[in-house]
């Protein structure tokens, strides 16, 4: 459904996303994980044509169901074919508009009549677990979880082919997180959309995704099924992420950490960007950037 090839995003002449390629099949959920600043959100904003400020697409292609996503086409496809669930519903919603009006507006922009848009908005509120009476509320009158459900309703209003969820459970407590994810899972099943779930939460991704893409310093370093990447990670960075995840029954004491910090885009080292933090780095890693071969971008794996 979605095929991204060699995507490059720059800001001020610096590569934020550096040659990322992946695909998402119809009905599939791809979990995109990695530390803050790894390029996950920028990648998906670029796909949806929502980059702002100095950031721009400097290379590569994105094709949705056979249609290349050019800037002109994205104006027509956003909302109808591409739904985006943003990270912070408090800033995604207009505080001066009732939420029912905001859901209806998505439909009206794409040619739905006023009466049909109101009827569909009521259906969507039911679909995400909120009664139609919530249509008359303003965003500040709803909880964080309820606001996120409104954003999901807006994203799925026109049955998109591609659904992008960027950290949809950030700042929500565990119970509300599960409720929001259940709404997302139900919506994804009903629409059959190809879905990209961007998250820091490996446990959440393990439950929701079919495949995982691990990003580091603007590049993909490992891809595979959930069982492959989380069960037997091959890239040293993926393995380090798994070790640093808290587990029930492991006893007290500090969690293992990855030494050092991810590099800023403008000071990304040559070769493999992870090599200054990598326990198995080779001399080759310092000079040559490893390609993604067989689902992993690591000289130590490929040469071994």
Assess if residue 252 is contained within a domain.
Answer: no
Assess if residue 223 is contained within a domain.
Answer: yes
pLDDT tens over the chain, length 304 residues: 899 999 999 998 899 999 999 999 988 999 999 988 899 999 999 999 999 889 999 999 999 988 998 888 888 888 888 988 888 888 889 999 999 999 999 889 888 899 999 999 998 888 888 888 888 899 999 888 888 888 888 888 888 889 998 988 776 777 777 887 888 888 788 778 899 999 888 888 888 899 999 999 999 999 999 999 988 999 999 999 888 777 666 667 777 788 888 898 899 999 999 999 999 989 999 999 999 999 999 999 987 6
Classify 65 in phi/psi space as left (phi over 0), alpha (psi -120 to 50) or beta: left
221 contacts: CB under 8 Å, gap ≥ 6: 214, 215, 235, 237, 238, 274, 292, 296, 297, 298
CA distances in angstroms from 153 to 45, 211, 218, listed in the order given: 19, 25, 30
pTM over 0.85: yes
CA distances in angstroms from 120 to 113, 115, 158, 182, 274, listed in the order given: 10, 9, 10, 21, 48
Total number of domains in the chain: 1
CA distances in angstroms from 13 to 16, 20, 56, 206, 215, listed in the order given: 9, 17, 10, 36, 21
Determine the 3-state secondary structure of 1 from DSSP: coil
Please give the pLDDT value at position 123: 87
Give the domain CATH number at 90: 3.40.50.300
- CA 259 to chain centroid, in Å, comes to 25
Please give the pLDDT value at position 250: 64
Assess if residue 251 is contained within a domain.
Answer: no
Q: What is the extent of the structural domain holding 202? A: 2-245+257-303
Q: What does 226-248 look like in DSSP terms, one character per residue?
A: HHHHHHS--SHHHHHHHHTS--T
Assess if residue 11 is contained within a domain.
Answer: yes
CB count within 10 Å of CB 225 equals 13
Assess if residue 250 is contained within a domain.
Answer: no
């Amino acid at each position: 459904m979605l095929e991204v090839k060699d995507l490059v995003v720059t800001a001020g002449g610096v590569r934020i996303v550096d040659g990322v390629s992946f695909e998402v099949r119809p009905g599939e959920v791809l979990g995109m994980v990695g530390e803050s600043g790894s390029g996950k959100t920028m990648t998906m904003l670029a796909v949806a044509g929502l980059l702002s400020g100095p950031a721009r697409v400097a290379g590569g292609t994105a094709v949705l169901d056979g249609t290349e996503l050019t800037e002109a086409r994205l104006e027509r496809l956003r909302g109808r074919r591409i739904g985006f669930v943003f990270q912070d519903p408090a800033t995604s919603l207009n505080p001066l508009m009732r939420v029912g009006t905001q859901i209806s507006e998505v439909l009206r922009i794409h040619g739905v009549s006023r009466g049909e848009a109101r009827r569909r908005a009521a259906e969507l509120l039911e679909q995400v677990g909120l009664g139609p009476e919530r249509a008359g509320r303003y965003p500040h009158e709803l909880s964080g979880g309820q606001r996120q459900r409104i954003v999901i309703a807006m994203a799925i209003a026109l049955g998109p082919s591609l659904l992008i969820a960027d950290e949809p459970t950030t700042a929500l407590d565990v119970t509300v997180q599960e409720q929001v994810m259940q709404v997302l899972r139900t919506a994804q099943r009903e629409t059959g959309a190809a879905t990209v779930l961007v998250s820091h939460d490996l446990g959440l991704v393990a439950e929701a995704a079919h495949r995982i893409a691990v990003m580091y310093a603007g590049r993909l370093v490992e891809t595979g099924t959930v069982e492959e990447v989380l069960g037997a990670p091959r890239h040293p960075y993926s393995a380090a992420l798994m070790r640093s995840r808290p587990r029930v029954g492991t006893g007290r004491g500090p969690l293992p950490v990855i030494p050092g910090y991810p590099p800023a885009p403008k000071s990304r080292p040559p070769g493999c960007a992870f090599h200054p933090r990598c326990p198995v780095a080779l001399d080759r890693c310092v000079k040559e950037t490893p390609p993604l071969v067989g689902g992993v971008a690591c000289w130590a794996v490929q040469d071994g």
